[in-house]
Every structure is written in C-alpha cells, then in structure tokens.
Chain A
Amino acid sequence: MVIYGVALLSFCMIAGVFFGELIGYLIGVDANVGGIGIAMLLLIFIANKNSKNLKIDNITKSGINFWNAMYIPIVVAMAAKQNVLAAISGGWMAITAGVLVVILSFLAIPFLYKFVKTKES
C-alpha cells in the first residue's frame, strides 16, 4: 500500500533526526549532527536489504517515489521563502564574504577530486 512507503520514509526520517539530535547532545553541540544523512543511509540500507526477506512492492515504492518527485517543487517553494532581503541588506561585507566563499569553494572541487584520484591510482 502507498501508505507503507510513506510510513517507511517517515520512520527513516524520524529515526535519523532523533539520532542526529542525540549525537549533538552527546558531543555538546546545539545542532542536529547529520540527522538527515543518517536517515538517508537508513533508507538506502533498507532498500538494499529488500531483495532478501523484506519485500517492498511497487505500490509501496510509489509512496516513496512521489516524495522523490516532489523534491524540485519543494526546492522552488524553499527558494520563495528565503530571506533574500536580509541577505542583500547585509551590506558589502556580507556580499564580499559570500561571493568569495562560493568562488573559492567551487575552485577547490576539481583540486580535491584530482587529489583523490591520484591517491587511488
């Protein structure tokens, strides 16, 4: 049933966010540490287990795939609720820092990738 897929997704998210909060609490950080990442790993793990004893049928899958397909629309809504005004009114310092961070981080991506590739070979 479709709800099984949605419920499985919800279970993974709640479990992941819970562990993220727990890790944050244990290391004394006031933030969720990787909760969504843990939730994703949990879902991947369950989906890969699927073939053996636990069967996720196509209708159940459609409950997950619907939310997968809703990803871009949700991102569009997310863009529409950003505090763009505050970002721009942060002044030149905020703009300079933001622009430099983005440019230099983009430039660092190929370097890091090459570094990994040469280490592997």
Chain B
Amino acid sequence: MIEILVNTLIDNSIITAFLFVGVVTYLSYWISKNLTAGIIHGSAIAITLGLILAYAGGLYEGGTRGLADIPIFAGVGILGGAMFRDFAIVATAFGVDLKNLKEAGMIGALSIVLGVILSFFIGAVVAVLFGYTDPVSITTIGAGAATYIVGPVTGTALSASADVIALSIAVGLIKSILVMIITPFVAPFIKLNNPHTAMIFGGLMGTTSGVAGGLAATDPKLVPYGAMTATFYTGAGCLMAPSVLYLIINLMF
C-alpha cells in the first residue's frame, strides 16, 4: 500500500510538488493568522519553512538540492528550479509601468555596478581577515560574496582550489538565504515600498533567489523592479570579478 502511494507520488513528481507547496502555504498562512496575529506575513513563513525543510532534506539525504533530493519531493526541485523561477519572474513584468522603469533606469544600472564592487570587497576583506593571502583565493571568495554563481565562475576562470570554490559558493548561499528571510523585516526601515528602492535593492543585493524570495514576502508588486536589476547582476559580476577586480586584488597582494 505504502509502496504504491510512494510510487504514485514519485511518478507524478511535479503534481506532488504543487500539492506540497499548497500544503506548506496553507500551514504558513494558518501560523501567520493564528500564532503571529498576522504580523509576520504568510509568504515569509512559507519561505522560511521551505528553507528549514531544505536543511532537513540536506541532513537526511546528504545531497545538494535540499528537500528535492528526497525522491518523492523531486518535483519540488523542478518547480523551484531556475526555469520555472525565471518564467514566473518574467510573468510578474506584465503590468509594470514603463514610466517607473525609465525613471529608475540609470540608478538601477549604477546600483548593479556599485553592488558588485561593494559585495566583492566585503567578501575579500573577510577572506584576508581569515588568513587568506593569495590573490586568487581572495578574489574567488570576494566573487562568492556577490552571488553563488559569480564565485565558482570566477574561481574556475582563475583556477582556484576546489576548497576555495566551495567556500565561495557557501558565502553566496548564506547571502541569498539571509536576504530571503530578513528583507520583509528590514523593508520598513529602508523604505523598500516603491519601485525605485526596489530597483536599488535588486541591484545592490544581486542574488536573484534572495531578491525573488525577499520581495515576495515583502510586497509582490515590487518583484519585477527588484528582479529586473538583480538578473543583470550575476552577468556584471562574472564580467568584473575575474578581470578588473582580480587585477586590483593582484596589485594589493
């Protein structure tokens, strides 16, 4: 009986994922309403719950894709993968006011470049404080502080060691997860309530997953503006980190 049920869930993986997310969302909104009196938004709880389950999945299965490594939750990996995430992000652009976008275009572009530089140097400084002295490792860890894609791309380009590349991914993952969790709480203090700030936020943070999750739990109407700048960030980081930024680090060490 159980085996038949498990096989049914595995064979219909994406449908199982729809059911799973529906149940998690229902539970989260229930918790939001009954345990936090609506103070913490249901989506914020759902995302946090997702991350906790991902941690549990990682402990249980020992893979790299959180809960999605457990066979019956394989569909969660597809539904939550880059393809569907990006598809839904593009869909949020439907209904965006072209005027807002034009007004904030320059500042958006500026914030991407500043965001890469800021994250890179914070990561680089921490690497130095923790005892790294070779320019390749420092650059790779700095790049990981941009996003967990910029890290390994840069590390591979500069032939950094596998340990350092793994570390750069970990830095990027921490950043992305933190942005997902704390954005809704910080939003009122940094006036993250309008398209302009959302574009600056996307450009400075740059992690598409972090920005996507953080804005979803703050105000879904801001998603397209933040996502717009964030999706250019990884490209900018992959361009700048192994070239200009590496040269600067190389001159210093």
**Chain A residue at minimal CB-CB distance from B68:** A81
Contact with B along A79-100 (1 / 0, CB 8 A): 1111111111111111111111
**Chain A residue at minimal CB-CB distance from B45:** A76
**Interface-centre pick from B24, B80, B190 (highest chain A CB count, 10 A):** B80
Tell me the smallest distance from the CB of B96 to a CB of chain A, in Å: 5
Give the contacts of A27-53 with B (CB-CB under 8 A). 27, 29-37, 39-41, 43-44, 47-48
| Cross-chain contact A83 with B228 (CB below 8 angstroms) | no
In the assembled complex, which residues on chain B have CB atoms less than 8 Å from the CB atom of A31? 149-150, 153, 234-235, 238
In the assembled complex, which residues on chain A have CB atoms less than 8 Å from the CB atom of B98? 44, 48
| Cross-chain contact A36 with B86 (CB below 8 angstroms) | yes
User: How distant is the Cα of A99 from the Cα of B174 in the complex, in angstroms?
Assistant: 7
The answer, yes or no, to whether B38 is at the interface (CB within 8 Å) is no
User: How distant is the Cα of A85 from the Cα of B119 in the complex, in angstroms?
Assistant: 22
| Cross-chain contact A79 with B91 (CB below 8 angstroms) | no
Tell me the smallest distance from the CB of B234 to a CB of chain A, in Å: 6
The answer, yes or no, to whether A54 is at the interface (CB within 8 Å) is no
| Cross-chain contact A97 with B126 (CB below 8 angstroms) | yes
Q: Classify the interface of chain B: helix, strand, loop or mixed.
A: helix
**Interface-centre pick from A17, A35, A40 (highest chain B CB count, 10 A):** A40
Tell me the smallest distance from the CB of B19 to a CB of chain A, in Å: 11
| Contact residue among A24, A27, A78, A89 (Cβ-Cβ distance under 8 Å from B80) | A78
In the assembled complex, which residues on chain B have CB atoms less than 8 Å from the CB atom of A13? 86-87, 90
In the assembled complex, which residues on chain B have CB atoms less than 8 Å from the CB atom of A30? 153, 156-157, 238
Tell me the smallest distance from the CB of B174 to a CB of chain A, in Å: 3
Size bracket of the A interface: 35 or more
| Contact residue among B64, B66, B118, B173 (Cβ-Cβ distance under 8 Å from A80) | B66
Binding site for B on A (CB under 8 A): 9-10, 12-13, 16-17, 20, 23-24, 27, 29-37, 39-41, 43-44, 47-48, 61, 64-65, 67-68, 70-102, 104-106, 108-110, 112-113, 116
Question: Known interface pairs A81-B66, A90-B167. Does A34 touch B174 (Cβ–Cβ under 8 Å)?
Answer: no
Tell me the smallest distance from the CB of A120 to a CB of chain B, in Å: 9
The answer, yes or no, to whether B94 is at the interface (CB within 8 Å) is yes
The answer, yes or no, to whether B30 is at the interface (CB within 8 Å) is no
User: How distant is the Cα of A78 from the Cα of B211 in the complex, in angstroms?
Assistant: 12
In the assembled complex, which residues on chain A have CB atoms less than 8 Å from the CB atom of B87? 9-10, 13, 67
Further contacts, 10 of them, CB under 8 A, given A81-B67, A102-B182 = A29-B239, A31-B149, A61-B94, A67-B91, A68-B95, A73-B79, A84-B58, A94-B173, A102-B175, A104-B122
User: How distant is the Cα of A101 from the Cα of B126 in the complex, in angstroms?
Assistant: 10
| Cross-chain contact B204 with A81 (CB below 8 angstroms) | no
User: How distant is the Cα of A9 from the Cα of B118 in the complex, in angstroms?
Assistant: 34
**Chain A residue at minimal CB-CB distance from B126:** A97
| Cross-chain contact B175 with A78 (CB below 8 angstroms) | no
The answer, yes or no, to whether B227 is at the interface (CB within 8 Å) is yes
